[in-house]
Amino acid sequence: MADKYSDRSRVIRLIFIVVGVLFVGRLAMLQLFDPEYRKAGDRQALRDVTQFPARGFIYDRHGQLLVHNEAVYDLMVIPRMVKDLDTAYFCQSLGIDRADFDQRMQKARKYSPYSASIFMKQISKEEYAKFENKMFRFKGFYISQRTLRIYDRPIAAQVLGYVGEVDQADLDRDPYYKRGDYIGKSGLEKSYEEVLRGVKGRRVMHVDVHNREIGPYAGGALDTLPVEGDNLYTTLDADLQQYAEQLMSNKRGCVVALEPSTGEVLAMVSAPCYDPNLLVGRIRGENYNKLNADIAKPMLNRALIGQYPPGSIFKVAQSMVALDLGVITPQSGFVCDKSLVGCHNHPSATSVREGLKMSCNPYFYQVYRRVIQQGKYKNIYKDAQYGLTVWHDYMMRFGFGQKLDIDLPKNGLSKGNIPDTAFYNRWYGKERWAFSTIYSNSIGQGEVTVVPLQMANLAAIVANRGYYITPHMVRFYGPDSVRNEKYLERHETGIRREYFEIAADGMYDVVHVAGGTARRARVDGLDVCGKTGTAENYGNDHSVFICFAPKNDPKIAMAVYVENAQGGGGTWAAPIAGLLAEKYINGEVKRKDIEKYYMEVEPCQKLPLTRRVKKKK
């Protein structure tokens, strides 16, 4: 019997020894070799705090501050460390209810019970000052500081863009960002994100059982300082931008103003406008939804994404192509035959210059016909295909039918439409169309559409007498004044300068000579050269005007587009452009009565549009 119990005793001791060895081994594995266990332990004693850099400032061309930063605070939570919380007092301190608290905590636990995440973001300095002295009562919560964008003047919202919290697509695309980070979502904030954002820093801190920081870990050996983002110096003239937005108040449309010699954008307005400060802070989401739901689409940058029929401003490009091809001469005249295409009452034009001045539709019907049907082939359809191919190539040299490579997000940029032979072959069938099918293109109607940025670029091409530099928004950035070399390159149309002199003369006559269609754009002492357009569309016609000034050594080139404004380009768009030219070149506007009228008038057909208006110019 003694031997029997002795064996049992040895077995029991062996079992205890084996179990003990297993426990010790497992503990050693967890503590010495398992990184996840080590990380879990570190989370109980250390806090890894991201040091967010100050985002770069944005200035206008004269050094006026447009965008800067203001300190705000995010309330962070580590759910596993939240203990003995007086929930009612906590909610009262933050101004939230219990349901909101539960929803936020559930989101934080879903993210991670052990890691910090944002419980409440963008607490203001004033709110934080009231809350700071109570923090010791809320175990598991702590404050992280970051900066918020502040816009010094309520202008250029669609150009400057806004900053928002990263979404899953941002996280998947770039590992730099973590949940709760902020990123440029539109405009310059997006296209220059990597320049503006800077580099995040890091602090690793010891914390006590009450979640209070007691000092840096390892003497700060793992800490890194944040690197501030670089500043942007834009091409915008803030005063001109603000004035243009005032002129476009109560209207739908856009303004683009360029410096012809450099391609720098002086002003870019899309109306209706909105205050960029609406998309800042905790109110951003609510305001974004309101703006996005607005039937007038204030968040849409019409200057870049709008694809409009150009109307008669397109006649400037048509005449340059025809002259360069030799199918007309500067002295070519055509009868104003309204049986061909509708027109207003005026004498027949006896030259290209007069054709532009009077904006004669039958004149440019004949000009375009000679471009498309050049008589290269006896077969009229083959001949039209040849002519359209040549015409299309010329139009591409003007920057039409393509996305001008401006330094703004490409997903917010349209290219318009310059139809080619493939387009019409798909539409009508091969060799089933000719000039008589597509003649509406001659006057900027039909299948032709252009983007307002391209319209302003056309004005710059004439101002430069045959070339353009790609329009751009930023002059340089950073302490080393970094410039993008591609915005120094000239793009030549290949058309002789002397023909553009004719265009400039004709555009001068449009504004200054009897019979011109834009007399309301005149500014005493300033040689404004322009071209009106009246574009047919859904609803009332659009009012269109392009111009540059002065005629020699031009300082500004513009496109103004007022949607559904009955009365034509000379009635609405032209006088607005005249006021802008006067403001920019002279520094002030003396015609206060005209200024007041165009700031207050509401010419646009009310939305929603309920009828299609079809009529000839």
Q: What is the DSSP letter of 408?
A: S
Range with lowest mean pLDDT among 196-210, 385-399, 460-474: 196-210
In the predicted structure, residue 134 carries a pLDDT above the cut 60: yes
Place of tokens 């493939």: 422
In the predicted structure, residue 233 carries a pLDDT above the cut 90: yes
Place of tokens 């050269």: 529
Question: What pLDDT is recorded for position 612?
Answer: 56
Rounded CA-CA distance 617/443 in Å is 10
In the predicted structure, residue 533 carries a pLDDT above the cut 50: yes
Question: What pLDDT is recorded for position 223?
Answer: 77
Taking residue 98's Cβ as centre, other Cβ atoms within 10 Å add up to 11
Q: What is the DSSP letter of 31?
A: I
Fill in the amino acid letter for 302: R
Mean pLDDT of 332-352: 95
Query: Does the global pTM surpass 0.75?
Result: yes
Mean pLDDT of 235-242: 98
Mean pLDDT of 282-289: 89
- Mean of all residue pLDDT scores within the chain: 91
Q: At what angle do helices 497-512 and 452-463 cross, to 10 degrees?
A: 110
* Nearest in space to 582 (alpha carbons), one of 518, 500, 526, 498: 526
In the predicted structure, residue 616 carries a pLDDT above the cut 60: no
* 616 vs 431, residue with greater confidence: 431
Q: Which residues of 225-237 are buried (b: 16+ CB within 10 A; e: fewer)?
A: ebebbbbbbbbbb
CATH architecture of the domain with residue range 238-600: 3-Layer(aba) Sandwich (3.40)
Could you tell me where the beta strands, DSSP code E, fall in 228-315? 232-234, 253-259, 264-271
In the predicted structure, residue 469 carries a pLDDT above the cut 90: yes
* 222 vs 570, residue with greater confidence: 570
Question: What pLDDT is recorded for position 210?
Answer: 56
Q: Residue 396 in contact with residue 457, Cβ under 8 Å?
A: no
* Intervals of CATH 3.40.710.10 along the chain: 238-600
Share of the chain above pLDDT 90, in %: 74
In the predicted structure, residue 41 carries a pLDDT above the cut 50: no
In the predicted structure, residue 149 carries a pLDDT above the cut 80: yes
Phi-psi region of 529 (alpha: psi -120 to 50; beta: other; left: phi over 0): beta
Mean pLDDT of 237-252: 97
The pLDDT-based confidence of 236 (bands split at 50, 70, 90) is: very high
Question: What pLDDT is recorded for position 187?
Answer: 97
In the predicted structure, residue 377 carries a pLDDT above the cut 70: yes
* Nearest in space to 458 (alpha carbons), one of 404, 517, 512, 409: 404
* Nearest in space to 241 (alpha carbons), one of 190, 292, 303: 303
Rounded CA-CA distance 528/246 in Å is 21
- 47-234 topology per CATH: Penicillin-binding protein 2a (Domain 2) (3.90.1310)
The pLDDT-based confidence of 283 (bands split at 50, 70, 90) is: confident
Q: Residue 203 in contact with residue 216, Cβ under 8 Å?
A: yes
Question: What pLDDT is recorded for position 71?
Answer: 86
* Intervals of CATH 3.90.1310.10 along the chain: 47-234
Mean pLDDT of 277-294: 91
In the predicted structure, residue 442 carries a pLDDT above the cut 60: yes
* 388 vs 49, residue with greater confidence: 388
Query: 300 to each of 191, 281, 397, 414, how far by Cα in Å?
Result: 16, 21, 27, 12
